[in-house]
């Protein structure tokens, strides 16, 4: 069905009417003069109309790094009980997740719905598979995806949060999840956690080659240790011809490297089309350098008020604010760049063929032929929308309204 968005402002610019059909944008033009006389004037028979009321039109948000399998959103708040370190935090989660007031399927489904209601229609979620959980958490995320399959596109990462070498059977469980249809094979800290990067990466890239899937590797490793792991990942990406199929999540080392090392590394990442998913940490990644170098960068919300952290609210607009804040951005152009990273930047992480960001002035994603995955936001400008995070939003997935005013359609 044709859907016409009346009186909207693409990227906060001039008012336009935008026509959607067949899941894509088919026309963008000035506001029709007859709109004021009749909401349906000039509309093709059978077409639906959304009154944009002068709101800002953006590509919908893309959350490229979220842990739907550990969320506690919607449940009573609980004190944080974790202790520092990836292994210790994993154990804290392991000791508590089965005792929550709702099942993991219910929690994942609720959080995904809240994300969609706030403007996210493209998601890449982790699903922990290990000796403790087996496939239970993986199956819960699949169930949440199925519940919301008409409202969002969700890719599921089979994720060995506890590593692949520390517990017997971990690699076999990861293999089983891939066999059952995981979209992406995950890895984590090959040096710091498993302490055998060659064997860890052998397993991860071996499964990616076996099942023909992308790779997404959590890298909390700092500085030169992180650089070492990244270099090993790039080496395998080149050897296996996996350009465009590898994502570095967190990649905290990129914030620590000297300029000379960083520039060389970013050039190689761009050559191999290795993307980055950030969650807007307190020590920010060099965002402007990454996109200027041609590296695809997306944003994610990470854990959502879970056993790892009390933070998270299912709102990518709020996480966009955090990305701008942690980067100490003040100029409108830079804050809008954060919105671009959170929307079309993430879409390019999920699909290397999607439009990409380059300079901070790039604002793709709203031209004829682009996917009709969109969000309408209130605000005088994109920066104002990021700062105010107002609730009157309309969310569109594949040309259909799936949420309005934070409520699912």
Q: With a cut of 70, say whether residue 128 has pLDDT above it.
A: yes
pLDDT in tens, 348-389: 999 999 999 988 888 999 999 999 999 999 999 999 999 999
- Mean of the per-residue pLDDT values of the chain: 95
Cβ(53)–Cβ(6) below 8 Å: no
pLDDT in tens, 290-332: 999 999 999 999 999 999 999 999 999 999 999 999 999 999 9
Which domains does the chain show, CATH number per domain? 3-59+365-408 (2.30.40.10), 61-350 (3.20.20.140)
pLDDT in tens, 186-229: 999 999 999 999 999 999 999 999 999 999 999 999 999 999 99
| pLDDT the model gives residue 46 | 62
Helix ranges (DSSP H) in 148-196: 170-179
In DSSP terms, which residues pair with 407 in a beta bridge?
404
Q: With a cut of 60, say whether residue 41 has pLDDT above it.
A: no
Mean pLDDT of 145-152: 98
Cβ(31)–Cβ(21) below 8 Å: no
Rounded to 5 degrees, φ, ψ at 4 are: -110, 125
In DSSP terms, which residues pair with 186 in a beta bridge?
216
| pLDDT the model gives residue 358 | 87
Helix axes 316-326, 332-340, angle to 10 degrees: 130
- Dihedral of alpha carbons 138, 139, 144, 147, sign: positive
Query: How far lies 153's CA from each of 82, 121, 147, 276, 404, in Å?
Result: 32, 6, 11, 19, 18
Q: With a cut of 60, say whether residue 276 has pLDDT above it.
A: yes
Cβ(269)–Cβ(251) below 8 Å: no
Q: How would DSSP label each residue in 310-372?
A: S---S-HHHHHHHHHHHTT--SHHHHHHHHHIIIIIHHHHH-TTS----STT---S-STTSB-
| pLDDT the model gives residue 37 | 40
| pLDDT the model gives residue 43 | 54
Using pLDDT thresholds of 50, 70 and 90, give the confidence band for residue 267: very high
Mean pLDDT of 74-86: 94
């Amino acid at each position: 069905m044709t859907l016409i968005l009346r009186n909207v402002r693409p990227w906060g610019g001039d008012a336009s009417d935008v026509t959607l059909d067949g899941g894509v944008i088919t026309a963008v033009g000035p506001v029709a003069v007859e709109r004021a006389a009749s909401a349906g004037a000039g509309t093709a028979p059978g077409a639906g109309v959304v009154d944009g009321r002068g709101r800002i039109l953006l590509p919908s948000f893309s959350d490229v790094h979220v842990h739907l399998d550990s969320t506690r959103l919607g449940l009573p708040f609980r004190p944080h009980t974790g202790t520092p370190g990836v292994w210790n935090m994993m154990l804290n989660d392991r000791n508590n997740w089965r005792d929550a007031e709702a099942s993991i399927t219910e929690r994942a489904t609720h959080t995904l719905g809240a994300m969609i209601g706030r403007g996210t229609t493209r998601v890449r979620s982790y699903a922990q598979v290990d000796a403790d959980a087996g496939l239970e958490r993986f199956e819960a995320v699949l169930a949440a995806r199925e519940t919301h399959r008409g409202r969002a596109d969700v890719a599921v990462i089979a994720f060995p949060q506890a590593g692949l070498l520390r517990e017997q059977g971990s690699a076999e469980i990861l293999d089983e999840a891939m066999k059952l249809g995981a979209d992406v094979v995950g890895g984590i800290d090959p040096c710091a956690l498993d302490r055998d990067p060659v064997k860890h990466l052998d397993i991860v890239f071996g499964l990616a080659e076996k099942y023909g899937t992308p790779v997404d590797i959590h890298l909390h490793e700092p500085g030169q240790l992180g650089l070492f792991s990244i270099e090993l990942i790039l080496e395998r990406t080149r050897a296996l011809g996996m350009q465009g199929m590898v994502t570095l999540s967190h990649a905290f080392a990129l914030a620590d490297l000297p300029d000379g090392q960083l520039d060389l590394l970013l050039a190689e990442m761009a050559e191999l089309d290795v993307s980055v998913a950030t969650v807007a940490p307190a020590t920010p990644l060099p965002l402007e350098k990454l996109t200027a170098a041609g590296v695809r960068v997306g944003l994610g919300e990470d854990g959502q008020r879970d056993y790892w952290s009390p933070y998270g609210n299912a709102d990518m607009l709020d996480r966009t604010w955090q990305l701008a804040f942690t980067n100490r951005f003040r100029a409108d152009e830079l804050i809008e760049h954060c919105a671009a990273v959170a929307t079309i930047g993430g879409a390019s992480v999920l699909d290397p063929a999607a439009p990409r960001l380059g300079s901070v002035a790039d604002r793709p994603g709203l031209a004829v032929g682009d996917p009709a995955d969109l969000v309408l936001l209130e605000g005088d400008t994109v920066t104002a929308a990021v700062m105010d995070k107002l609730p009157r939003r309309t969310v569109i997935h594949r040309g259909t309204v799936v949420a309005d005013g934070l409520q699912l359609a």
